[in-house]
Structure 1
Amino acid sequence: MKLLRSVLVALLVLAVLAYAGVVGYMFVNQRALQYDPAGEITELAAAGLAGAEQVEIASGDGLVTAWYQPPRPGMPMIVYYKGNSGSFTYEHERYAQFVADGYGFLAFDYRGFPTSPGAISEANILADALAAYDWVAERHPDILIWGRSLGSGPATYVASQRDARALLLETPFLSAVTVAAERYPYLPVGLVMQDQFRSNEWIAQVREPVLVAHGTADTTIGVSNGERLYALAPNPQELWIVPDAGHSDLWAAGIWDHARPFFEKALSS
């Protein structure tokens, strides 16, 4: 019995040490695991946006690189908050469509992503998001906020701090820590995660009309995240759930056809 007890104690100690090692590894490397900044840069000259210009916006102790094109007279600006992977320049097809329909846009890389040097952190991303919005607000009165995936966090935060005309959230999370807890239920992510992006708290201060778009086959951020966040919005306008759509499928599925009437309604109210 003593031998068996000793073996069980030894196994328990090893299990505890192994678990502590996993938690320690996740804590030390969490930002490398959370963010995916690597990606190719599309040059503005190759993006088919003849009226756009590349600008640099001061944020914190650095600069963020953005593309900017003003709208046609009487039309609004879209401030676009990108997702987690690569550079904002990859989504130039979206910006071209905005421009074709008369909207202006500003899109940019958070510090630490391909075109904007610096360190990635929640604090820096939120500061960059506010800096981008404020830069546009100095030039245009009517601003629409669009946040995709990771960008839904800073987009919600900015809408809680500034007066935009509308907030569109594409494949949003309830909070980043919610997604992490769903993915790693055996880890104490709520205790050790530094960049939690608590959109579920910020949304309470969002007075703008809100559209949430999500796909039922999203394996990156489960569709229930979008549904739960929408339920918390003080001014919900539309919940667009696309059957069998994955995390990166909503543009092809026609999100712009939902965005335009949503924006038009918000601007007319």
Structure 2
Amino acid sequence: MKRFGRIAIGIGIVAALAYLLALAGMFLFQRDFQYDRGGRLFALSETRLAQAELVRIPSAAGSSLAGWYQPPAAGKPLIVYFRGNAQSFSREHERYEAFVADGYGSLAFDYRGFPGSPGEVSEANILADGLAAYDWAAAKGFPIVLWGRSLGSGPATYVASLRDADALLLETPFDSAVAVAADRYGFLPVGLLMADQFPVDSWIKDVAEPVFVAHGTADRTIGVSHGERVYALAPNPDELWIEPGAGHSDMWARGLWERAKAFFARAEAGAR
């Protein structure tokens, strides 16, 4: 019996050490888990954005952000696009091509720490970069609508809570980054470990703009319940589109742009 007791104690010690190592690894390398900063900044010559220009947007602490900008046609708003987590904003050039083909303006950019914009990635820097991009765009004098995809739902909602845009579209949003982490790592106290928590569920309560939320039922990256909770908290909800069977990267192919245009038209009509 004593032998079995010693074995049980040994197993317990090994399990405790493994758990502590998991905690330490999550804490020390959390941003490597949270952000995908690989990839490259595409050249505009690799796209069909013949009238767009590469711009440098001043941000905090003397930093600058790489972005692509094209003004809108008369009577259309400028879409400030807050990209998702993977690689550079430029990889989604087909979206910006669709925007400008229909007369919308487009500003998309990399947060600091992503391929086009040097610096350190952090929640504070991403939020500051979002505000800098909005203010740069607002100075152009066009009506502005905001589009936040995935990770971008954090800074897009934050900016909407502090600035006066005409609409906020959230594609596969989360109610907080820490809630997403808890979905994946429920055995860890992620709320105590995470530095970058992006409390969208708090910011959305201060968003006066009309809000459109798009999410798929088969999203395994950010569960559809996150989008439903964000929409339920919006003071000025416009539409919640839940697409059956759609995953995290499927919404565009499922017709999101057509729905977005209808939403932006409603929002612009209400803003006049």
Does TM, normalized by the shorter one, top 0.5?
yes
Query: Deviation digits for residues 86-140 of structure 1, max 9, x if unmatched?
Result: 1111111111111111110100011111111111111111010000000001112
1:154 aligns with 2:155: yes
Q: How many residues align?
A: 269
Q: What is residue 229 of structure 1 aligned with on the other side?
A: 230
1:169 aligns with 2:170: yes
Separation in 2, partners of 1:15, 1:218: 32
CA positional deviation for 1:59: 1.0
Query: Deviation digits for residues 31-75 of structure 1, max 9, x if unmatched?
Result: 011100111332112211111111101111311000000111222
Q: What is residue 179 of structure 1 aligned with on the other side?
A: 180
1:261 aligns with 2:262: yes
Separation in 1, partners of 2:12, 2:46: 59
SS in 1 for 2:220: coil
Q: What is residue 28 of structure 1 aligned with on the other side?
A: 28
Separation in 1, partners of 2:173, 2:111: 17
SS in 1 for 2:250: coil
Q: Which moved more, 1:136-145 or 1:149-158?
A: 136-145
1:241 aligns with 2:250: no
List aligned pairs for 1:92-131, cutoff 5 A: 92-131=93-132
In structure 2, runs of 5+ residues without a counterpart are: none
Separation in 1, partners of 2:47, 2:161: 32
SS in 2 for 1:31: helix
CA positional deviation for 1:8: 2.4
1:42 aligns with 2:42: yes
Query: Deviation digits for residues 227-262 of structure 1, max 9, x if unmatched?
Result: 111111111110011111111111111101111111
- For 1:131, the aligned partner's letter is A
- For 1:56, the aligned partner's letter is R
CA positional deviation for 1:10: 2.6
- For 1:5, the aligned partner's letter is G
Separation in 2, partners of 1:100, 1:244: 29
Separation in 2, partners of 1:60, 1:16: 42
Query: Deviation digits for residues 177-198 of structure 1, max 9, x if unmatched?
Result: 1010001110100000111111
- For 2:136, the aligned partner's letter is W
SS in 2 for 1:191: helix
| 2:70–2:105 CA contact under 8 A, matched in 1 | yes
In structure 1, runs of 5+ residues without a counterpart are: none
CA positional deviation for 1:7: 2.9
Separation in 1, partners of 2:6, 2:94: 64
SS in 2 for 1:213: strand
Identity of aligned residues (%): 61
| 1:84–1:149 CA contact under 8 A, matched in 2 | yes
Q: What is residue 57 of structure 1 aligned with on the other side?
A: 57
Q: What is residue 7 of structure 1 aligned with on the other side?
A: 7
Separation in 1, partners of 2:72, 2:102: 9
Q: What is residue 86 of structure 1 aligned with on the other side?
A: 87
| 2:40–2:116 CA contact under 8 A, matched in 1 | no
- For 1:28, the aligned partner's letter is L
| 1:160–1:203 CA contact under 8 A, matched in 2 | yes
| 1:147–1:153 CA contact under 8 A, matched in 2 | yes
